[in-house]
A and B are shown apart, each in its own frame.
Chain A
């Protein structure tokens, strides 16, 4: 009932403000009945006073999303048993009748495929790494490796959407949008949520803007995609002969017209529009300063790899992510495409690793040497894992792997996570033996690290309060330092 009452009064407020026809008495009554009705002009201001709920360990997030699902069995989750049983059938007791994708469910055989890569342990915590990611392996002591992630979706779109928004259907706000909504931007000249895309040579799976959508939140919280060209934010530069002063005047006039429209119609999106123009105006100054990678010293170029100077590469995006993050962007979301190795995995994964290995490690190293790693949470992982059995023809040293949602590996660094290796899968890398971490748990934990209690961080939409973690999720205390 409360919602209806509040809605009604909301409508009245607009009427009062524009026409003042109902008088002050009604206003007073309204504010008596719903305390706080006139307190704050928007939800964001309300939240700014409540969040973070408690002391955050991470102020910012850089999420290196490995789109297409990298094979945990060829990178982090070392399973000698699979090499020993290479070519033998996946035991029914392991698969246990669990569902498969349409791509392999009709296969007559499910021959186990042992990794072709050599593995070695690195660092004090004894994490196993494949030879194809030597640089990431060298950062072992900084990494919190979770080998026991699992998800509910088995195909890319729902799995990606689930990881990004906490639901498989694409109508909910993305993680970054929630963070933008709850914590706002540290630097008011940059969007709180930025998105960077890159693509490897491996089998491609697309990304789509619904993954960084604001859902039912105000559209100011939508992820701002930086394009891969030499002008990362399109149409940001002024046309010739327009100076900043003129621009200011134009924007002021437009804003006053918009204010007028808002008073008449009361559509909150109009206010958003005004804010977006203002942000864009300020971004005109801030963005070129940050996105120009030319002035980075040579040692940094070496660290990220020389590809980092070519716009649109994963390396360039990692470097850009550091610069955005150090300039106060709350949530930088990268996507690197091409990990969907259904076939020819050994060759494809080498190419993908070549793209991401050096830059991912460099990002951690770079944040650390600037004293920023402890307040920045870096996340590396895909939307699910890959099967221990071969998709298509298995030979001595070539194989493909299908989607595997039941156990896979992601890692995090900095921002209050505990370095170490957590969770364990069975000898076949198929099922989880200890510390299962569901996607909801992952979200709850990331939110916790940002100082947000995921159960109390809600948005009311169509009569229901929504959370990033829906009605589930628990904080995984084991991985928090």
Chain B
């Protein structure tokens, strides 16, 4: 292509600042902006928990158990006299760690496996996809339950368990994307100029799978948090005294008649985070895929 042709085509197209368009679409709906603000606030609460929280979340005071919400303890105290609000604030750390951590683990592993299955095809594809089908036949919560029991309760065990439960979704997504992307001419072009298989997979195919991947990752953060909370609620997740929201709901459950706030408040916190992540996911989908704009 000659040098002189460049400016003409450039000028013929109206200049669009892609990033600004992206931000405008993303923030065009109130709920999406709400999600972004909520998640920012939660991240700040997690980072500055020791400053924001009025009390030490583990400090028991046995002369102030099961207090009603009052001016000293805005959400009351639990059966060991610990401040509920402080425990919820510190709980953001576990929640975000699980939500972000498991999604990163599952997405990176799933992407690599999905890329391999989709790109190589043949028996590799068949073996990987049959295993994925197998994992998908078991409800994610049930699967996470078995693995969490296997690895023992604790953050590490729960993270691996939840990641494993999320994994097949990513393998399927990426594999499907790769199957359609690899038919494009630029992949053929790359192959014919002798780019290596890994080069093609990571430099030419992967970047074209990013937008659905990012949407899926945001949506899955909510699911990951819900699975962790359910595991903790069932007693196979993060064990007390750690301030995990799921186990807080369970602890408060015993005092539902007397102090409903102990169960209801951490549950509302879970809902808020999951809702916020889902809304951001919706917003990202709209912003990244103009065809779907405004339908969800």
A binds B: no
Residues of A within 8 A of B (CB): none
